[in-house]
């Protein structure tokens, strides 16, 4: 009986020594996560004499890696892809050209399962207009977002982003493009 109690005690102590602490809820934001959802893009093309504006509903996908900083701060790095071309007018489009945005997203925890963050980064697309020559566009993007974990590692996310293309004289000199995007996404943190 004595050997049985000693063996049982050793087994119990061994299993306790292997135990890992439970991951705190604020740590769910750390690491890699993938999200997808829908967005509404409002695109404006402005010249010296006129302005056109069009709205496009589209799908969006986002890959993010978030680093832990001093509590309650977080820092994310993201690549976002619009899954459909955005209309500028009936014959003009801003088409896909690799990732639409690459951003850095500094954030702060509001609760243990909610994160408010800013977006600062680059924007890329390609202007196409029927038989006219295409024009690659690049520029800046900035915005704000909110991410909330609803169950385990599953989250919902809402973002507003302003994208501005830098002046590119190739193709259509003097045309400036600006795009506002509002998106709602669902995702999972790995």
Percentages of the chain per state (helix, strand, coil), in multiples of 5: 10, 65, 25
**pLDDT tens digits for 108-166?**
998 778 999 999 999 998 888 777 777 888 899 999 999 998 988 899 999 999 999 87
Which DSSP string do the residues of 56-101 spell out, in sequence order?
A: EEEEEEEEEEEEE-STTEEEEEEEEEESSPEESSSSEEEE--S-SE
Q: How do residues 148-160 score in pLDDT, each as one tens digit? A: 989 888 999 999 9
Q: Is the pLDDT of residue 18 over 50?
A: no
pLDDT at 20 (0 to 100): 42
| pLDDT digits 0-9 by tens, 52-68 | 899 999 999 999 999 98
Better-predicted residue by pLDDT, 175 or 188: 188
């Amino acid at each position: 009986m004595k050997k049985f109690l000693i063996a049982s005690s050793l087994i119990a102590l061994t299993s306790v020594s292997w135990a890992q602490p439970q991951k705190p809820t604020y740590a769910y934001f750390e690491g890699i996560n993938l999200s997808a959802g829908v967005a509404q893009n409002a695109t404006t093309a402005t010249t010296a004499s006129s302005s056109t504006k069009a709205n496009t509903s589209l799908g969006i996908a986002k890959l993010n890696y978030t680093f832990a900083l001093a509590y309650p701060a977080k820092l994310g790095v993201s690549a976002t892809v619009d899954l459909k071309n955005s209309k500028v007018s009936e014959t003009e489009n801003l088409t896909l050209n690799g990732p639409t945005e690459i951003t850095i997203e500094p954030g702060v925890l509001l609760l243990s399962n909610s994160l408010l963050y800013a977006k600062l980064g680059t924007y890329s697309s390609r202007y196409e207009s029927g038989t006219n020559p295409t024009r690659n566009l690049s520029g800046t993007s900035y915005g704000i977002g909110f991410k909330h974990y609803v169950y385990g590692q599953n989250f919902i996310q809402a973002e507003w982003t302003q994208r501005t293309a830098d002046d590119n004289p190739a193709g259509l000199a003097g045309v400036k493009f600006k795009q506002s995007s509002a998106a709602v996404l669902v995702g999972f943190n790995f």
